[in-house]
A = this chain, B = another copy of it.
Amino acid sequence: MRRVFSTQAIQTAIEKSLPDFEKVAGSSAVRTQESVRRQFARDESHFISPPPAVVLEPTNVEQVSKFMKICNDRGIPVVPFGTGTGLEGGSMSTLGGVCISTQQIIGEPQLREQDFVCSVKPSTTRIALNDAIKHSGLFFPVDPGADASVCGMVATSASGTNAIRYGTMKENVINLEVVLADGTILDTKGKGRCPRFAPFQLRFTKTCRKSSAGFNFTELFVGSEGTLGVITQATVKVHPRPQFFSAAVCAFSSVHQAASTVVEILQWSIPVARIELLDTVQVQASNAYSNLSLREAPTLFIEFHGSSEKEVADQTAAVEDICKSHEALDFDSGASPDKMANLWKARHNAYYAALALRKGARGFTTDVCVPISKLADVISETRADLDEHEILGTVVGHVGDGNFHVILPTIEEDKTEHRKIQSFSDRLVRRALAADGTCTGEHGIGLGKRKYLREELGENTIRLMHTVKKALDPKNILNPGKVLPEL
A contacts, CB < 8 Å to B: 112, 114-117, 156-159, 163, 167-168, 170-171, 180, 184-194, 204, 206-220, 222-224, 228, 239-240, 242-243, 263, 266-270, 307-308, 310-311, 314, 318, 367, 369-373, 401-403, 433-445, 449, 452-453, 456-458, 460-465, 467-468, 470-472, 483
Which residues of the other chain, B, contact A213 by a CB distance below 8 angstroms? 438-440, 445, 449, 452-453, 456-457
Whether A112 pairs with B268 at a CB distance below 8 angstroms is no
Which residues of the other chain, B, contact A268 by a CB distance below 8 angstroms? 240, 307
Whether B192 pairs with A436 at a CB distance below 8 angstroms is yes
Whether A461 pairs with B402 at a CB distance below 8 angstroms is no
User: Known: A310-B310, A318-B307, A457-B189. Is A267-B114 also a contact (CB below 8 A)?
Assistant: yes
Whether B471 pairs with A214 at a CB distance below 8 angstroms is no
Whether B471 pairs with A467 at a CB distance below 8 angstroms is yes
Measured CB to CB, the closest approach of chain B to A158, in angstroms, equals 8
Measured CB to CB, the closest approach of chain B to A54, in angstroms, equals 27
A369 to B311, CA, bound (A): 32
Which residues of the other chain, B, contact A449 by a CB distance below 8 angstroms? 213
Whether B468 pairs with A470 at a CB distance below 8 angstroms is no
A486 to B110, CA, bound (A): 34
Measured CB to CB, the closest approach of chain B to A45, in angstroms, equals 14
Give me 28 A-to-B residue pairs in the complex whose CB atoms sit less than 8 angstroms apart, sorted by A's number.
A115-B373, A158-B212, A184-B464, A185-B460, A186-B460, A187-B457, A187-B458, A187-B461, A189-B457, A190-B438, A190-B456, A194-B436, A206-B438, A206-B456, A207-B436, A208-B369, A208-B441, A210-B402, A211-B440, A211-B441, A213-B449, A214-B445, A214-B453, A215-B228, A215-B464, A240-B268, A307-B318, A467-B471
Which residues of the other chain, B, contact A437 by a CB distance below 8 angstroms? 206, 208
Whether B444 pairs with A212 at a CB distance below 8 angstroms is yes
Whether A208 pairs with B402 at a CB distance below 8 angstroms is yes
A193 to B243, CA, bound (A): 44
Which B residue's beta carbon lies closest to that of A117?
A: B371
A283 to B62, CA, bound (A): 51
Whether B467 pairs with A472 at a CB distance below 8 angstroms is yes
A217 to B453, CA, bound (A): 14
Whether B308 pairs with A314 at a CB distance below 8 angstroms is yes
Measured CB to CB, the closest approach of chain B to A220, in angstroms, equals 5
Which residues of the other chain, B, contact A115 by a CB distance below 8 angstroms? 371-373
Measured CB to CB, the closest approach of chain B to A267, in angstroms, equals 7
Contact of A208 among B191, B314, B370 (CB under 8 A): B370
Whether B193 pairs with A434 at a CB distance below 8 angstroms is yes
Measured CB to CB, the closest approach of chain B to A53, in angstroms, equals 28
Which residues of the other chain, B, contact A458 by a CB distance below 8 angstroms? 186-187, 190-191
User: Known: A307-B270, A372-B114. Is A186-B223 also a contact (CB below 8 A)?
Assistant: no
Measured CB to CB, the closest approach of chain B to A69, in angstroms, equals 14
The 9 closest A-B pairs by CB, nearest first: A219-B219, A240-B269, A471-B471, A114-B373, A186-B460, A192-B436, A211-B438, A157-B212, A115-B371
Which residues of the other chain, B, contact A112 by a CB distance below 8 angstroms? 371, 373
Measured CB to CB, the closest approach of chain B to A121, in angstroms, equals 19
A25 to B129, CA, bound (A): 57
Residue from A318, A434, A471 having most chain B Cβ neighbours under 10 A? A471
Which residues of the other chain, B, contact A171 by a CB distance below 8 angstroms? 167, 171
Which residues of the other chain, B, contact A370 by a CB distance below 8 angstroms? 208
A189 to B170, CA, bound (A): 15
Measured CB to CB, the closest approach of chain B to A261, in angstroms, equals 13
Whether A220 pairs with B215 at a CB distance below 8 angstroms is yes
Contact of A307 among B240, B269, B457 (CB under 8 A): B269
A171 to B216, CA, bound (A): 12
Which B residue's beta carbon lies closest to that of A443?
A: B212
A204 to B458, CA, bound (A): 13
User: Known: A213-B438, A371-B115, A440-B212. Is A464-B193 also a contact (CB below 8 A)?
Assistant: no
Which residues of the other chain, B, contact A188 by a CB distance below 8 angstroms? 461
Measured CB to CB, the closest approach of chain B to A106, in angstroms, equals 24
Which residues of the other chain, B, contact A217 by a CB distance below 8 angstroms? 220, 461, 464-465
Contact of A210 among B114, B194, B442 (CB under 8 A): B442
